[in-house]
């Protein structure tokens, strides 16, 4: 059973009124002007069809169908690349604002398009030739707790070693253990 969106208002009127406004009062702009997210409280209720039949897909344009009927406002305080990425991950769409230069706007769109879930897109990689002092300074400046670096280190050099002049390279593991392909990672 798929309901036609054109009949949604008529279908909603068949529901019994429990609390709040009925659908006619809710969409009457002469009473409220406009509504925002804070004006809605969706409560669970009885439905007479399986939840698997619910389709929230919405046409944004002739060629763009959204999986979720949510889009974020093109305001500089609302939608930049991070909001657009999160909206897309949830099936919606984020409209990038234009309160910036065309190049800045294009860069935001580029970041959204090249986003891959679970990947750090622009990692800060450090050289094994940095000193402990330089790494601590980077940690404080950038706010990261760890950095990718080529080589294996037995422990975090910043918590174990206090000589600020030591070079990270000196803390690497030289006694690496190797195993055959297919060896389980768990012990019996």
Residue 5 pLDDT > 70, yes or no? no
pLDDT tens for each residue of 80-129: 999 999 998 888 899 999 999 999 999 999 999 888 766 676 778 888 88
Q: Is the pTM of this model over 0.75?
A: no
Structure tokens at 30: 């002469």
Decide if 66 contacts 87 (C-beta within 8 A).
no
Angle between helix 81-89 and 102-113 (nearest 10):
30
C-alpha span between 123 and 22 (Å, rounded): 51
What b/e sequence results for 67-76 when a residue is b if at least 16 CB atoms lie within 10 Å of its CB, and e otherwise?
eeeebbeeee
pLDDT tens for each residue of 30-53: 776 666 767 777 777 777 888 888
């Amino acid at each position: 059973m798929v309901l036609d969106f054109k009949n949604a208002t008529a279908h909603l009127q068949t529901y019994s009124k429990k609390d709040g406004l009925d659908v006619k009062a809710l969409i009457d702009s002469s009473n409220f002007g406009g509504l925002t997210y804070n004006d809605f409280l969706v409560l669970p209720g009885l439905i007479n069809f399986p939840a698997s039949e619910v389709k929230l897909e919405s046409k944004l344009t002739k060629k763009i169908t959204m999986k979720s009927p949510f889009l974020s406002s093109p305001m500089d305080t609302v939608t930049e690349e991070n909001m657009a990425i999160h909206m897309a991950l949830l099936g919606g769409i984020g409209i990038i604002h234009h309160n910036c230069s065309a190049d800045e706007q294009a860069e935001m769109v580029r970041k959204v398009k090249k986003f891959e879930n679970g990947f750090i897109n622009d990692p800060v990689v450090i050289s094994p030739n940095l000193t402990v002092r330089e790494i601590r300074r980077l940690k404080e400046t950038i706010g990261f707790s760890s950095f990718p670096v080529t080589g294996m280190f037995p422990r975090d050099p910043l918590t174990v070693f206090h000589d600020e002049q030591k070079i990270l390279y000196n803390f690497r593991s030289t006694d690496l253990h190797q195993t055959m392909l297919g060896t389980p990672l768990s012990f019996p």
